[in-house]
Amino acid sequence: MAMDFPASPTEGQTYQAPGGPLYTYRAPAWRSGVTQPQVAKSWRNRVVNSAMQWSQENAVNSAPVTAVGLWYAADQFYANWNFTGAAFSATRVTNATASPNGNTYAVYTACQTAKATPASGEYWMLGTRIEGYNVSDFKWGTAGARRAIIRFSFSAMLVGTYTLQVMNHDASRAYITPFTVATAGVWATYTVVVPGDTAGVWANETNTGISLRWVLSGQASFTAPTDVWGTNVGYATGQANLAVAAANSCMLTDVGLYLDVNGDGVPPPWETPDPAAELARCQRYWNSLMLYGSTTTPAAVVVFYAHAHFTVPFRVMPTFTGVNGVNSRFSATVGSLTGLAATNGLVNGVVEGRASTGTAGTAAVWSTHVFANARM
């Protein structure tokens, strides 16, 4: 019996042969007995928290409405703005209209006070940074630089041209490319093929390997050549000004950065990350814990020490801050917080020294909510 395979199949499409096996389309042919493949290691997504599943620091809290701000709306994804006479906010939403991949988590940023024309040095953008270890096999900055693919889903309340900036750690190398919002308030998925950069210095260890920024507003004349590597970090010609009206907003999710393994400019099928595994990836850059200390009968003012360990080692030694919790017969002021490194150099612990009050009693306790920031 002849089989009538569907015309113009898409990757992963299935066809049940009458009285026969189930076929799956794996370009360039239909194949029987094929299961959904796992993404090859070299084709994995290099972006951390690509589906905006986690926001450890700020949860769904919105940034204060300010004219100048930097707010991590989701782990590894920030909103950044610098204006005079305008104000913005940002947050992570969990109930957005589903993206083309069915995702309802997104980074959201909105204009609260409008400005018709951005002045010199004014900007509003979203961004993320990818660690050098995660992209060292891109070989950028060498003669063997490999081509990459960037994919993302974006929605904005203003139609027009926006700018994606791809940069190295110090912005001395930049690839500027425009993308167009054709319908306001509707998700669209964009794919950008980026040639490997054979010039410049690209970090391949714990520093920023690749920086991605989505420009929402900026000075119209601050342009740079597009779709070519260079040294100018600017905007595409015709850059939209999302800040032109209060309540204008945008959302970003499902961000992917991949090697162009097949050399065809086509990204792999989207896979939503496993939440537990993605949380561990996030905690390399930001984490928190409760640290507890106690002793008995502290009859004198003495500094006591307590330590705790994080579940995931940090990228580098974090900056520690703390908020006092419950304390009895100990100072309410958070003591010195010092990172602990294992013999192999991995930073995964913290110790606090806290002074007792010298008040006699049967027991003394304190607790500190410790925040550790090892972001790039």
pTM of the model: 0.88
Say what the pLDDT of residue 243 is. 98
CATH 2.60.120.260 region(s) of the chain? 68-281
Say what the pLDDT of residue 2 is. 59
Whether the predicted pLDDT of 361 surpasses 90: no
* Residue-averaged pLDDT of the chain: 92
May I ask the CATH architecture of the domain 283-373? Answer: Sandwich (2.60)
Which of 14-23, 45-54, 72-81, 283-292 has the least mean pLDDT? 14-23
Q: What is the pLDDT of residues 148-190, one digit of tens each?
A: 999 999 999 999 999 999 999 999 999 999 999 999 999 999 9
With a pLDDT cut of 70, the percent of the chain lying above it is 92
pLDDT band (50, 70, 90) for residue 294: confident
pLDDT band (50, 70, 90) for residue 36: very low
Q: What is the mean pLDDT of residues 327-333?
A: 90
Spatial distance between the Cα atoms of 357 and 297, rounded to a whole number of angstroms = 11
Non-local (6+) Cβ contacts of 368 within 8 A are: 290, 291, 322, 323, 324, 325, 334, 335, 337, 352, 354
For 290-328, b where at least 16 C-beta lie within 10 A, e where not — what string? ebebeeeebeeeeebebebebeebbbeebebebebeebe
Considering only residues 49 and 29, tell me which one the structure prediction assigns the higher pLDDT.
49
Whether the predicted pLDDT of 33 surpasses 90: no
Phi-psi sector, 36: left (phi>0), alpha (psi -120 to 50), beta: beta
For 1-20, b where at least 16 C-beta lie within 10 A, e where not — what string? eeeeeeeebeeeeebeeeee
8 A C-beta contact, residue 256 and residue 152: yes
Angle at CA of residue 190, ends 223 and 227, nearest 5° = 35
Say what the pLDDT of residue 24 is. 73
CATH 2.60.40 region(s) of the chain? 283-373
Say what the pLDDT of residue 43 is. 84
Q: What is the pLDDT of residues 117-131, one digit of tens each?
A: 999 999 999 999 999
Beta bridge partners of 372: 287, 320
Bond preceding residue 64 cis, omega within 30 of 0:
no
pLDDT band (50, 70, 90) for residue 11: low
Spatial distance between the Cα atoms of 116 and 240, rounded to a whole number of angstroms = 11
Altogether, the residues listed in the chain come to a count of 376
Distances (CA, A) of 116 to 83, 219, 341: 12, 11, 51
- Name the residue among 219, 242, 217, 223 with its Cα closest to residue 121: 219
Q: What is the pLDDT of residues 262-284, one digit of tens each?
A: 999 999 999 999 999 999 999 99
Spatial distance between the Cα atoms of 91 and 222, rounded to a whole number of angstroms = 27
Q: What is the pLDDT of residues 202-261, one digit of tens each?
A: 999 999 999 999 999 999 999 999 999 999 999 999 999 999 999 999 999 999 999 999
Topology given in CATH for the domain delimited by 68-281? Jelly Rolls (2.60.120)
Say what the pLDDT of residue 1 is. 47
Say what the pLDDT of residue 5 is. 77
Beta bridge partners of 77: 74, 128
Question: If residue 132 lies in a helix (H) or strand (E), which one and from where to where?
Answer: helix 132-135
